[in-house]
Amino acid sequence: MPLPQQAGILCNDPRFQKFAATRSGFPGGQFTAEASAEYLRHVCNIESRRELATSEIAQTKFAALRTEFDAWTGKIANQR
């Protein structure tokens, strides 16, 4: 699945919305899909999720964000 599509699905995930809110200084809060998309664009330093298809730097940042999210949800063990 293309990365821009993965990013869109991720931003619609309520768990990611909560993760993004927490990482943005709103513990216990929950972002909307739009706010989550803004968070993702900020973290990946892009203006559009489409840039994930072509920017290697953005792809690396997105992969790191996914790893942090997976650790936060318990999908993978926390890194020490």
37 vs 43: CA distance, rounded Å: 10
Distances (CA, A) of 58 to 63, 68, 72, 75, 80: 9, 15, 21, 23, 24
Residue 56 lies in a domain: yes
| Averaged pLDDT, 9-24 | 98
**Are the C-beta atoms of residues 7 and 40 closer than 8 Å to each other?**
yes
Give how many domains the chain has, as a whole number: 1
Residue 27 lies in a domain: yes
Residue 16 lies in a domain: yes
Residue 78 lies in a domain: no
Residue 22 lies in a domain: yes
Residue range 25-73, pLDDT digits in tens? 998 899 999 999 999 999 999 999 999 999 999 999 999 999 999 999 9
pLDDT of residue 78: 62
pLDDT of residue 26: 94
Band of residue 80 on the pLDDT scale cut at 50, 70, 90: low
pLDDT of residue 76: 82
Residue 79 lies in a domain: no
Residue 80 lies in a domain: no
Domain containing 61 equals 3-73
**Are the C-beta atoms of residues 59 and 52 closer than 8 Å to each other?**
yes
